[in-house]
Amino acid sequence: QNYLDNFWPDLKAAHELFDSIVQARRERESESQENHGKEYPEHLPVEVLEAGIKSGRYLQGALNVNKHRAQLEAFVRLQGAGSKDTG
């Protein structure tokens, strides 16, 4: 902040970007405190997952991610579902 104020006081875009970064960090810290310092929520216990799979609430399968477009393309191949299964 001091650097921008001293050397680039009229560069509005840089000040707006800095303010945006500060706000994002505050929100992330707030979320982290709500999750007791954990960046991601914990996984469900195995018993809950197994019961959910049996009841049909959850599906079980293999996650496939496109290595060239990992942030855009992924799918889950369900267990027991495939063109090779003639049943």
pLDDT of the residue at 36 = 67
Helix (H) or strand (E) holding 77: strand 74-78
pTM above 0.85, yes or no: no
The residue with greater pLDDT, 86 or 25, is 25
Inside any domain, residue 83:
no
Residues 26 and 2 in one domain: yes
Inside any domain, residue 86:
no
Q: Coil, helix or strand for 1?
A: coil
For the chain, the domain total comes to 2
DSSP secondary structure letter of residue 8: -
Give me the domain span that covers residue 26: 1-39
User: For residue range 8-64, what is the model confidence (pLDDT) as tens digits?
Assistant: 999 999 999 999 999 988 887 777 676 666 666 678 889 999 999 899 888 899 999
Closest by Cα among 44, 79, 45, 49 to 61: 79
pLDDT of the residue at 27 = 81
The residue with greater pLDDT, 76 or 82, is 76
Distances, alpha carbon 77 to alpha carbons 40, 61, 72, 83, 85, in Å: 24, 5, 17, 11, 13
